[in-house]
Amino acid sequence: MSHEYEIGMLWVEGPLSYVEVLCAQSFLDAGHHVKLYHYGDVRNVPEGVQLVNGNTVLGSDRFIKHGRTGSFALFSDVFRYHLLRQNDRMIWADLDAYCVKTFKSETGHFYAWESDYQIAGGVLGLPSDSEALGQLLEMTEDEYGIPEWYPDEEKKRLEDLKQAGTPVHVSELRWGVWGPHAVTHFLKKTGESKYAFPEHWLYPISFKNRRFLMRGKMARKVRRAVTEDTYSVHFYGRRVRQFLSTLGGLPEPGSYMEHLLKNHNIDTAAAPIFTRQEREAQKAAQNMNLPET
């Protein structure tokens, strides 16, 4: 029998922009209980979202940042696997996933193909006893492990470095190594990939076409892509926020995102996205207020 799930999200610290506020609010409005896990001060959280200290799931001593970008994506990957192991009636959702309709599952599996070759983990539901989930957890225990799906030549190179006493840390490997690459590999390996939804159920607008969501002239195309089967639309947070900053901090009039913001009564001014000029002005003002040394 299908049943509704709690939604688990993570925001390490800092204020939410209206993009994250919109996404969290969408799950509340769809009838979900939403838990937002955090490790520091978080602001602009919608009323009704339950704030939970992330240390109850995974200690902050496990923080890992991506070597090139400084992103917490690797830690977020590990966090969601522990969260799903500890909560059998929860579905993970990135804080840039917009809920189109209530998430339900008859199997405990809830994920979709993002392309012809990759299953994404931006929205992820796995039974706590999932074999793939167990292997994901085992893999992420070793920060210097060599991904078993890498080509033999690359595995040999990494093994030689390890034997020489200079192992390569996961933060220096390809983006997504503990995320969609690992999710896809282990779901295929265990046969659980058979439960993956078609792409348009969770990712009707691809990463490549993400700007369509904020363009007024592309709204009709987005609405055609979001079908009656669609559960979620992904907003690809950091990249989308960067693009919005170039638009003056707001989506274009008539765009799909503008429609959603109005539909959920989101106050964009209360959780703004600043333009580059505004950020530079704020930084300059802060520097002017620094005490002399």
Considering the domain architecture, whether residues 227 and 106 belong to the same structural domain is answered as: yes
For residues 240 and 206, give the distance between their C-alpha atoms in angstroms, rounded to a whole number.
Answer: 12
Residue 92 domain flag: yes
Considering the domain architecture, whether residues 23 and 130 belong to the same structural domain is answered as: yes
For residues 224 and 92, give the distance between their C-alpha atoms in angstroms, rounded to a whole number.
Answer: 26
For residues 198 and 176, give the distance between their C-alpha atoms in angstroms, rounded to a whole number.
Answer: 20
Provide the pairing of β-strand 104-105 with 3-4: antiparallel
Cα distances from 18 to residues 99, 100, 108, 254, 269, in angstroms, run 15, 17, 30, 17, 8
Q: What pLDDT score does 275 carry?
A: 79
Structural domain harbouring 162: 144-169
Q: Residue-wise pLDDT tens for the chain (293 aa)?
A: 334 799 999 999 999 999 999 999 999 999 999 999 999 999 999 999 999 999 999 987 776 655 555 567 888 999 999 999 999 899 999 999 999 999 999 999 999 999 999 999 999 999 999 999 999 999 999 999 999 999 999 999 999 999 999 999 888 888 888 999 999 999 999 999 999 999 999 999 999 999 999 999 999 999 999 999 999 999 998 899 999 999 999 999 999 999 999 999 999 999 999 876 766 666 666 555 555 43
Considering the domain architecture, whether residues 114 and 190 belong to the same structural domain is answered as: yes
Tokens of 76: 């977020």
Hey, what amino acid is at 96? D
Residue 150 domain flag: yes
SS (H, E, C) 68-129: CCCCCHHHHHHHHHHHHHHCCCEEEECCCEEECCCCEECCCCECEECCCCCECCCEEECCCC
Considering the domain architecture, whether residues 114 and 157 belong to the same structural domain is answered as: no
Residue 78 domain flag: yes
Residue 293 domain flag: no
Considering the domain architecture, whether residues 211 and 120 belong to the same structural domain is answered as: yes
Residue 283 domain flag: yes
**Can you give the CATH number for the domain in which 95 is found?**
3.90.550
Looking at the DSSP assignment, which residues form a beta bridge with residue 234? Answer: 97
Residue 73 and residue 67 in contact, taking contact as beta carbons nearer than 8 Å: no
Considering the domain architecture, whether residues 15 and 148 belong to the same structural domain is answered as: no
Considering the domain architecture, whether residues 58 and 154 belong to the same structural domain is answered as: no
Residue 152 domain flag: yes
Against a cut of 0.85, is the pTM above it?
A: yes
Residue 261 domain flag: yes
> Of the candidates 126, 135, 37, which has an alpha carbon nearest to the alpha carbon of residue 79?
37
Burial of 273 (0-12, 13-18, 19+ CB in 10 A): buried
Q: Name every residue whose Cβ is closer than 8 Å to that of residue 292 and which is 6 or more positions away in sequence.
A: none
Considering the domain architecture, whether residues 74 and 96 belong to the same structural domain is answered as: yes
Considering the domain architecture, whether residues 29 and 99 belong to the same structural domain is answered as: yes
Provide the domain count of the chain.
2
Considering the domain architecture, whether residues 30 and 154 belong to the same structural domain is answered as: no
Q: What pLDDT score does 3 carry?
A: 43
Rg of the chain over Cα atoms, rounded to whole angstroms, equals: 20
Residue 255 domain flag: yes
For residues 100 and 69, give the distance between their C-alpha atoms in angstroms, rounded to a whole number.
Answer: 31
Considering the domain architecture, whether residues 245 and 149 belong to the same structural domain is answered as: no
Considering the domain architecture, whether residues 38 and 96 belong to the same structural domain is answered as: yes
